[in-house]
Amino acid sequence: MTYLVDDLGEPVPLEGPASRVVSLVPSLTEAVEVSAPGRLAGATDYCTHPSALDVPRVGGSKYPKLDRVLDLAPDLVLANSEENRQEDVERLRANGIPVWVMAAAASVPAALGSLRRILTQAYELDEPEWLVSAEEAWREVRPVRFHAVVPVWRKPWIVLGRDTFAGDVLRRVGVANVYAASGERYPRPDVEELRAHLSTDADLLVLPDEPYEFTGEDGPDHFPEAPYVLVSGRHLTWYGPSLVEAHAALLEALPKP
- Within 60-128, residue ranges assigned H as helices are 66-71, 86-94, 108-117
At 71, the pLDDT band (50, 70, 90 cuts) reads very high
Same CATH fold assignment for domains 2-136 and 141-253:
yes
pTM summary value = 0.93
Q: Show Cβ contacts of residue 61 under 8 Å, excluding neighbours closer than 6 positions.
A: 24, 25, 26, 44, 46, 80, 83, 84
Dist CA 54 CA 92 (whole Å): 23
Q: Which amino acid is located at 221 in the chain?
A: D
CATH for 141-253, options being 3.40.50.1980, 3.30.1330.20, 3.90.226.10, 3.40.50.300: 3.40.50.1980
Domain ranges of the chain: 2-136, 141-253
From 3.40.50.1980, 3.90.980.10, 3.40.50.300, 3.20.20.30, which CATH number describes the 2-136 domain?
3.40.50.1980
pLDDT per residue over 160-206, tens digit each?
Answer: 999 999 999 999 999 999 999 999 999 999 999 999 999 999 999 99
> What pLDDT was estimated at residue 242?
96
In sign, the C-alpha dihedral spanning 3, 58, 209, 128 is positive
The predicted-structure confidence for 32-49, as pLDDT tens digits, reads as follows 999 999 999 999 999 999
Query: For residues 37 and 39, what is the distance between their CA atoms, to the nearest angstrom?
Result: 6
Is residue 218 predicted with pLDDT exceeding 90? no
